[in-house]
Structures are given as structure tokens and as C-alpha cells.
Structure 1
């Protein structure tokens, strides 16, 4: 089943003031970032529709091994580019994805989910959604091509798609990139800041909780742990005097996500699998390891150990000692000698790690952490 990608890159970029398609982003260009998402997401082939400054944009597309389609009517609006692209799609197309070049932050995992969903059960249209809001790129059945080509352009592509809303599906994804476009220089600067992130944005964490049906009380625990972990990481960074600095974004997001799969068996591994599946590889390993610690004495403390400790210092949203936290588990398994031995060993490792942290950071966590958190809330 052939599903093609159609990138619309013919516009004037008037609000940006510079040609969007060739702006640098994530070590490449905006256009190549769009291409990479579609290719890695499973699109069979990519067609780039050019117009304004077609020679430069087309050269970039061809250098990346993609097909160029020139739209001589590009100044008449985006719908003319849609039609120009569809006229050149191969006859074996089962469906196609329409991605404007100024929406380059779509994750390849989102494209992969769309193509897999369509091959599992076809539909006239499948929209990626972020917390209920439709975004790009829609995946459109090839059977709509004649109707799109016959449309007079009033209302653009949306008018045609709205006629098929009863046969459309929505696919919720934790991908804010489906809604983010590059209209202005400010939009572009924001995109540059987040384009390399391999961790979810805070809004995407909320979406992941919703998709995983994470209980509300678990979400509150995760928020508390994230706040504590960030304070602990800041204290450690301060003591390190600009060397081996921890990434606060990684700490925060890993803490927010550490119990995302709390309702599942072996929730640490399940949570890591969810995150890796959605492309959040930057925190999957931390989530997978938050039940226990096996750091070597000679290894420096990392984001993983901070999230582990912060989690163990709270029962729900209430601060507890390590003895209190592990004590409940010991009580539950007191009749099982092997389990008691394993839990006692985990407690000993956690205490050793906490001592290492306190010595390096120069704070006494049980006494000072609740005070620091209270100050942050004021």
C-alpha cells in the first residue's frame, strides 16, 4: 500500500521575511526536517511542491533525493499547490499526507501512527490531534483526489475535507508539533529552541497522561516529584560549579512521566515503552530505571539518580523518609524472606545514594527539601 507525502513549499514567506523552506533547523533545513519526519514515519515517497524561489527550494529537494513539482500558480494560494501536487502523484497511491513546509516539528512517530492506522483500517481522512485539536498532516484517501482536483478553490482543501467528516477519524497524539507553524521570526526562534528536544514538552506530558489513563492522584504525585527533583538538580548543579551540569528539562519531564503507566503491570518498563514509542527517547531509560538504582561508586550522579531519589522521598504528595517509603513495602511482604531481602537491599542502595547526593550537593534533603519546595510555591 503506497502512502505518499506531499510537502507544500511554494509560498512567499511574506510574514517570515525569509524563505521558510531553507531556514536552518535541527542541523538541517526546515524542508529537510519535514522530509525526514515523513520518510522516517513510513511515507513511500515524497513530492515537494515549489513556486516562489523554486530553483533554490527544488535544488534542496533534489539533493535530498525527493521529487520536485513546480506550481506556476503559487501566488494564487496554497490550494493551487495541493492540486499541482496531486496531479503528479503516481497512480498507485492509496493515500497521501499533506504537510505545509512551515509545520516542520511533526514527529516521525506521529506519521508512523497515521500510516499504521490507515493500513489497519482505511478511512477517507485521518487527522492527527493534540488533546482534541486537529493538526497537520492529514492523511487523505486517494479516492478523494478527483473531487479535490475538480474543486473551484473556494475555502481551499478544507472545504472538500469537511464534506467527508462523517468518514474521517481522529488520532490523538502527544505531539504539539502538529499545531506549530512558522509564520513569524518569533515562531522560528521558538522552533529552534525545541527542535532538538528528545523529551516531551510540559503540554505533551499532559497529553501522555491522558492517553495512558494515568490516575489523577498519580499525576499529582508526579508533579510533586518533578518539583522536588528540579530543586535537587539545581542544588547539585550549583555545587558542581558549571561542570557536569544536569539537564533540568530532562529531570522535570522524566519525573513527570515516571509513573505514566502506573496502572500497568511492571509499570516502569511499560512507561518506558510508551515514551520510546512516541519518540521520547531522551527520558525512556530514566523512567525504566526509577524503581531501583545500581550506580557505580565512581560514576557521577545523573538525571536518572535525581528522579529516582525524588520519587522515593514522597508518598503521594507527602514527604517521607526512605525508611517510611520502603517500610510499607516491607510490611506487605514480611512473610516472604526473599522479598524482604530484596527490598532491604534496595533500601540500603537508596540510602547510600541519598548520602552521596547530600555530600555533593551540600544539603540535608529530609530537612531542607520541604522548606525549599514551600518557598517555591510562595
Structure 2
């Protein structure tokens, strides 16, 4: 099974006052930490979607086997960034890469996510053949989430202001879940950053 990864790293971090992608945690930036996790899944192409601060973030990823994709309309919402990343992942097929069976959607700033959680999502998809495998936390289902090829068209049809959760919530009967304790802890505000440090 070939699993592509779309890492959403386009946000402007307006509440934080600095690019969250470049915040350092345990000696590395959040975007580098997320990319290393994505690469550890080890199944297919990795697309990093950039928007605000694209040059500084791309520089952080120099030399890594990822596709950096710029979404000029990143400020309209996550849907456009998700589509841009999915397009980049699927473009690898036409240049001789393997057929992508599923895509993993990932954020930079969910600090309780680790490589073993991402691998659990992949294992769950393999064993259940579900259309969607989502992370379960804080009474909700969200990303990181794995979407089978059967729902790629739904991801591509998302309006700019809507993220992956729109596809996850559409039909709960087709969604498998993997618990992610603390999955709602992210880095959005100076208070979050202070807690991180």
C-alpha cells in the first residue's frame, strides 16, 4: 500500500505572533519534526503545503525528500491547501511514481502525535479497508487522518474554508478511529508556546 502525506504548513500563526512552523521543540522546529514523522511512515510521496513565510519554512526542509507546494490562497482556509497538497502527491504518479492508495493529512503543531500513531493509522486502514481513519480526541474526530483513494474526490471538492474534518464528518459509518490522547493540544497562542517551553 502506497500512502502519500500532505503536511499542512501554510498558516499565518496570527494569534501566536510568529511562524509556529519554525517554533523549536526539543531541539528542532515543529515543521521539521512533522516532516521527519511523515517520512518515517515510509510509504509514498510527502507534500508540504506552504503559504505564509514560505521561504523560511522551505529553507528548514532543504535536502529532504519532500515536495514543497506553495498555496497563494492559503489565507482563505485549509481546504485550498489540502487540495494543493493532494494534487502534488497525485502528480508523482504521472511522473512514474507508484499509485497512491491513501493520503495522510497532518499538521505541524499537534505535539502528542508521534510516528507510532501515524503507523497505527496506516495499520488500521490496511486491516479494515475503511474509507477514512481518523484520530479520536477531546470528543471529536480529526487529523492526523488517513483518507483512502475512494474519498479523494471529496477532498478535492472541499471549499477553501473547510478542512479535512468536513470529509471525516460526512458519513461516520465509513470512519475507523485511533485514539490520540491530548490530540487537542496545539500551538496557537503565546500561552500555548509558554506551556511548550
| 1:42 CA drift (Å) | 4.2
Would you say 1:97 and 2:104 are equivalent positions?
yes
2:77·2:160 contact (CA, 8 Å) conserved in 1? no
* Distance change in 2, residues 1:78/1:121 (3 Å): same
Q: CA deviation at 1:56?
A: 1.2
Counterpart residue number, 2:189: 184
TM-score, structure 1 length as denominator? 0.47
Rate the CA distance shift 1:167–1:113 in 2: closer, same or farther, 3 A: same
In 1, are the aligned partners of 2:77 and 2:161 still within 8 Å (CA)? no
- For the pair 1:124 / 2:127, whether they are aligned, the reply is no
Q: Which residue of 2 aligns with 1:30?
A: 30
Offset at 1:121? 2.4
Given that residues 103 and 136 in structure 1 are in contact (C-alpha distance below 8 angstroms), is that contact kept between their aligned partners in structure 2?
no
**What secondary structure does 1:55 align onto?**
helix
**Residues 310-352 of structure 1 deviation map (CA, whole Å, 9 limit, x = unaligned):** xxxxxxxxxxxxxxxxxxxxxxxxxxxxxxxxxxxxxxxxxxx
In angstroms, what is the RMSD of aligned CA positions?
A: 2.0
Provide the C-alpha distance between the structure 2 equivalents of 1:43 and 1:164, rounded to a whole number of angstroms: 27
Structure 2 gaps of 5+ residues are 94-98
Q: Is the 8 A contact 1:129 1:171 kept in 2?
A: yes
Whether the 8 Å CA contact 2:10–2:74 is kept in 1: the answer is yes
User: Secondary structure of 1:89's match?
Assistant: helix
Matches within 5 A, 1:258-269: none
Larger relative contact order, structure 1 or 2 (CA cutoff 8 Å, min sep 6): 2
Pairwise CA distance, 1:179: 2.1
Q: Describe how 1:1-378 pairs up with structure 2 within 5 A.
A: 1-90=1-90, 91=93, 92-130=99-137, 133-153=140-160, 155-173=162-180, 175-176=181-182, 178-192=183-197
Higher helix share: 1
- Give the length in aligned residue pairs: 190
Maintained 8 Å contact 1:128/1:137: yes
Structure 1 residues 145, 62: closer, same or farther in 2, change over 3 A?
farther
Residue 124 of structure 1 contacts residue 140 of structure 1 at CA under 8 Å; is this kept in 2? yes
Deviation at 1:135, TM superposition (A): 4.1
The answer to whether the 8 Å contact 2:132/2:175 transfers is: yes
Instruction: Measure, in 2, the Cα distance between the counterparts of 1:40 and 1:155.
Output: 28
Greater Cα radius of gyration, structure 1 or 2: 1
